[in-house]
Structure 1
Amino acid sequence: MCQIFAGQDPADYEPETRRMRLNGLSTSIRLERAFWQIVDEIAASEGLSTPGFVSRLHSEVLELRGEARNFTSLLRCACLVRVRHTLAPVEVIAAE
């Protein structure tokens, strides 16, 4: 089982920093490359550039929560939500 996890391409979990503007403020966000790939896919599916999507998400979080605590973790969790919603549901068979 661990080969699935341990055997990953190291490039996938290499950190990558991207500079962008969030609501007019210049900032940098550091995520692993695999997460950036998913963020790029989400942005494209929404018809936005990646900085445009990230900025919109940041604005919506501010509107809903009043702050964007640990925004990079929120981005990672957004990627998990995306993956969960795109995977077919797995039927769990209860042991008798």
Structure 2
Amino acid sequence: MCNVFASQDPATYACETRAIRLHGHCTSIRLEAGFWRILERIAAAEGTSPTRFLATLHDEVLARRGEIGNFASLLRVTCLHWLENQDRHAAEIAARAKRAA
């Protein structure tokens, strides 16, 4: 029943720690490799680097909510949201591009 999940490469769920700069401060984020790959895909779709995407997301959440309780968890759920809503995300990018033109 779970063969497709149980047979995945352990490298996909190995943790990776990456250093990023948020508001001029260096910090590190630890996520599973599979989440980093999805964040790289999201950033590419946005036309930016993963680091820039993370900084922008961080700033926008702070502006909306005033705080971020657990940024790593927010990033994991962002990946899930993007996987479930890729059409919506693509439409939003297209609308932004149209407004900029």
Runs of 4+ in structure 1 deviating by more than 4 angstroms, as ranges, are: none
| 1:9-29 superposed Cα distances (whole Å, 9 cap, x missing partner) | 100000000001012110000
Amino acid at match of 1:56: T
Q: Distance in 2 between matches of 1:63 and 1:11?
A: 35
TM, length-normalised to structure 1: 0.86
Structure in which a larger fraction of residues adopt helix: 2
Q: Distance in 1 between matches of 2:86 and 2:19?
A: 28
Q: Which runs of 5+ in 2 are unaligned?
A: 88-101
* Equivalent position of 2:31 in the other structure: 31
TM, length-normalised to structure 2: 0.82
Q: Which runs of 5+ in 1 are unaligned?
A: 88-96
Count residues with an aligned counterpart: 87
Q: Distance in 1 between matches of 2:13 and 2:33?
A: 6
1:68 aligned counterpart, secondary structure: coil
The root-mean-square deviation of aligned C-alpha atoms, in Å, is 1.1
Q: Distance in 2 between matches of 1:36 and 1:86?
A: 17
Instruction: State the identity as a percent.
Output: 54
Alignment of 1:1-96 (within 5 A): 1-86=1-86
| 1:39-67 superposed Cα distances (whole Å, 9 cap, x missing partner) | 00101111111110000000011011100
